[in-house]
Amino acid sequence: MKFVRTKNLEPGMISTKSIQDSSGVLMLAANHPITADIIQAMKRKGMAGVFIFDEFTQFEQFDSIVNDEFRQEAVNALRDFNIDKVIYLTNMIVEKIMSTKELVVDLHELSIYDQDTYDHSMNVCTLATTCGVGMGLDTDNLQQLALAAMLHDVGKRNIPLAILNKQGKLTPAEREIINEHPQMGYDLLYANQSISSYVRAAILSHHENYDGTGYPNHLAGEAIPLFARIIHIADVYDALTRKRSYKDKYMQSESLEFLMGNCGSMFDPDIVNTFLKYIVVYPVGCDVILSDGRIAHVIKNRSSSVTRPVVMTWDKEKLDLAKDPACRHITVIKELDFDGSSSEEMTEHEKAR
């Protein structure tokens, strides 16, 4: 599959995933041809683009942990603030993640082309729970973690949309209002008997930094609740990997570099180490330059080797960089962006909010 920006879409291209707008309205089901009307609607809504089938799609192997329909149900429950349903669905997400054999999160799991706060929360839930499984948390703790991750930004319901979706930089006063959302989320759920104090504490502390420079209470190290330390990493990672109104997106490798580079300052280093074992470095569908000079297409990733995918060269030679003895000397030099640009072409990024 190949990511095609909206401006380059042509009628007849087939989308690999369903196309939904930011309100969750289905515009086109997966595996259907895109029409001129859909392209026009996508342009109007400012949607970045979609993944379409290409000559490599038949060779690609990618299994979603959570399918599109389930994902939408969870996002809708969150949007409707239906807490009982959110609890039920997050418990199911925990079950799905615990039963996934090749547990690894690929950018496609995160539906990279469009997002609002609720989609982001769903991604943070998937990422944080996967990390929790890697840390060996038991089912009860995983359910609490998943729920806290899903609800971590619920306080943003009380932030005016004009500030939340503002194009460009926030003023100091607007930044102060945004920074109130962890406390707002805590307060919003305070009286709800179904929400434990652990979940509330994680929501309150998900912007605390490991070195004490975060907010709202400047907690440091292990004084920050464990769930909050996990959610902080998942939250920043997901924010970095996607384009938002106020910043360009990082490439996957740059996002992972950002996590590593901020170990001990923003993030708990032990948790980052676990997190990185489950996040693929070169997602299925991206093109990479190999050390032997060839350009290849990533067709599969495994949980045991997130830096060495199975690739297919443009003349259709399949190379398993982790297992083929003949490929041991071949490394991935650089990831190309989904639309073929390289990281050198990226502009300066604003840090994730």
Q: Using CB under 5 A, list all residues that contact Fe ion.
A: 153
**What is the closest distance, in whole angstroms, from the C-beta atom of residue 12 to Fe ion in the complex?**
40
What is the smallest separation between the CB atom of 182 and Fe ion, expressed in angstroms? 6
Count CB atoms within 10 A of the CB of residue 277: 14
Local structure of 266: helix, strand or coil: coil
Our CB check for Fe ion shows the closer of 186 and 275 to be 186
Token pair of 98, please? 């615990």
CA dihedral 74, 15, 234, 92 (to 10 degrees): 30
What is the nearest approach in angstroms of Fe ion to the Cβ of residue 150? 12
CB 127 → Fe ion: shortest distance, Å? Answer: 14
Q: Which is nearer to Fe ion, 153 or 208 (CB)?
A: 153
- Closest separation between CB of residue 100 and Fe ion, Å? 26
Nearer to Fe ion by C-beta: 153 or 335? 153
Select 154 or 272, whichever has its Cβ closest to Fe ion: 154
Is residue 333 classed as helix, strand or coil in its secondary structure?
strand
Could you tell me the two tokens for 148? 């806290």
Q: Which tokens go with 340?
A: 């073929």
Q: Name the closest residue to Fe ion (Cβ).
A: 153
Nearer to Fe ion, 119 or 153 (CB): 153
> What is the distance of C-alpha 156 from the center of its chain?
19
Task: Give the contacts of 172 (CB within 8 A, at least 6 positions apart).
Answer: none
Closer Cβ to Fe ion, 156 or 249, answer by number = 156
The span from the CA of 208 to the CA of 221, in Å, is 9
Question: What is the smallest separation between the CB atom of 213 and Fe ion, expressed in angstroms?
Answer: 16
Q: How far is CA 347 from CA 4, 35, 168, 343, in A?
A: 19, 32, 14, 9
Q: Write the single-letter amino acid at 261.
A: G
- 121 vs 125, 189, 231, 303, CA distance in Å? 6, 16, 10, 23
> Would you tell me the crossing angle of helices 68-79 and 117-134 to the nearest 10 degrees?
120
> Within 10 Å of residue 278's Cβ, how many Cβ atoms?
17
Nearer to Fe ion by Cβ, of 109 and 153: the residue is 153
Residue 45: closest CA among 242, 245, 340, 247: 245
Q: For residue 190, count CB atoms less than 10 angstroms from its CB and return exposed for 0-12, middle for 13-18, buried for 19 or more.
A: exposed
The smaller minimum CB distance to Fe ion, of residues 4 and 234, is found at: 234
Q: How far is the CB of 146 from Fe ion (least distance, A)?
A: 16
